[in-house]
C-alpha cells in the first residue's frame, strides 16, 4: 500500500487477490480497480515465464517527480509500471527481470532499483533501470559499499521470503487455536 504523494487523497493497495485498487481514502471510495491477473498472464505467456499459483503483490513504489508507480509480485521476475494521470492509473510498461524480485524502490533520480532473490542461479544482486539506460547490472564485485560488512551464513530463505507462506502459517495457527478452543469447550460441557 502506498499514498500517492502528489495527491492528498489517493492511496494504492494490492494484496493476495487479482487486483490493484486506487482509493480516494478521504471518502473511502474505490476510484479504480486494475485487473493485474490479466496483465500477469499476458506477460507470462508472451515472455515464456513459469506460471505461479497466485498473484500476490509484493511491493508498490512511487516516483513523485514523474508520477510513476512500479509494482512487483511474489515469485515472478516482472515489474509493471503505471502512470498516474488525473486520479487514474494507466499501464505504461512491463519490465522483465532475469531473477525473482525481492524488493523495488525508486531513488531520487527516478532510477528503479530491483533487488533480486539470491541463489546459485542469480546473475545479479541488484538491477538498476533508468530512462537513460535500459538496464544497469551491479554484480557482487561492483558493490564495494558492502566491502566491510561481516560474512553471513548462507541459508535457503525461499520458504521464508514469500508473504503467501506467512499468510498460510498464520491461518494454520488460527485453525489450530480454534481447534484447541473447541476441544476445551467440549471438555467443559462433558
Q: What is the CATH number for 118?
A: 2.130.10.10
Q: Which domain holds residue 128?
A: 2-153
- Examine the pLDDT at 135 and tell me if it is beyond 60: no
Q: What digits encode the pLDDT tens for the residues 40-59?
A: 999 999 988 888 888 889 99
Q: What digits encode the pLDDT tens for the residues 60-84?
A: 999 999 999 999 998 888 999 999 9
Task: Give 47's strand partners.
Answer: none
pLDDT number for residue 104: 93
**153-156 long-range Cβ contacts below 8 angstroms, 24+ apart:** 156/119
C-alpha cell at 128: 538498476
The answer to whether residues 131 and 172 belong to one domain is no
Instruction: Identify the band that residue 165 occupies on the pLDDT scale cut at 50, 70 and 90.
Output: low
- Examine the pLDDT at 146 and tell me if it is beyond 50: no
Classify residue 48 by burial, with Cβ atoms within 10 Å: 0-12, 13-18, 19+: exposed
- Rounded to whole angstroms, how far apart are CA atoms 106 and 111? 5
pLDDT number for residue 8: 83
The answer to whether residues 132 and 170 belong to one domain is no
Instruction: Identify the band that residue 170 occupies on the pLDDT scale cut at 50, 70 and 90.
Output: low
The answer to whether residues 82 and 174 belong to one domain is no
- Rounded to whole angstroms, how far apart are CA atoms 118 and 122? 5
pLDDT number for residue 62: 92
Domain count, the chain: 2
The answer to whether residues 149 and 163 belong to one domain is no
* Mean of the per-residue pLDDT values of the chain: 78
What proportions of the chain, in percent to the nearest 5, are helix, strand and coil?
Answer: 25, 35, 40
The answer to whether residues 117 and 30 belong to one domain is yes
Cβ atoms of residues 135 and 113 within 8 Å: no
Residue position matching grid coordinates 539506460: 133
pLDDT number for residue 90: 94
pLDDT above 70: percentage of residues in the chain: 74
pLDDT number for residue 180: 77
Amino acid at each position: 500500500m502506498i499514498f500517492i504523494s502528489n495527491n492528498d487523497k489517493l492511496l494504492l493497495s494490492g494484496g493476495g487477490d487479482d487486483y490493484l485498487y486506487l482509493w480516494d481514502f478521504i471518502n473511502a471510495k474505490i476510484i479504480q480497480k486494475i485487473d493485474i491477473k490479466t496483465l500477469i498472464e499476458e506477460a507470462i505467456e508472451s515472455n515464456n515465464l513459469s506460471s505461479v499459483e497466485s498473484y500476490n503483490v509484493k511491493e508498490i513504489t512511487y516516483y513523485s517527480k514523474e508520477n510513476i508507480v512500479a509494482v512487483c509480485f511474489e515469485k515472478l521476475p516482472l515489474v509493471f509500471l503505471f502512470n498516474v494521470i488525473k486520479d487514474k492509473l494507466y499501464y505504461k510498461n512491463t519490465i522483465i527481470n532475469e531473477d525473482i524480485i525481492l524488493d523495488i524502490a525508486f531513488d531520487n533520480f527516478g532510477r528503479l532499483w530491483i533487488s533480486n532473490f539470491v541463489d546459485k542461479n542469480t546473475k545479479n544482486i541488484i538491477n538498476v533501470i533508468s530512462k537513460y539506460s535500459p538496464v544497469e547490472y551491479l554484480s557482487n564485485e561492483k558493490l564495494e559499499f558492502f566491502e566491510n560488512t561481516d560474512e553471513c551464513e548462507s541459508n535457503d530463505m525461499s520458504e521464508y521470503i514469500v508473504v503467501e507462506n506467512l499468510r498460510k502459517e498464520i491461518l494454520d495457527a488460527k485453525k489450530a487455536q480454534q481447534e484447541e478452543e473447541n476441544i476445551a469447550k467440549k471438555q467443559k460441557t462433558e
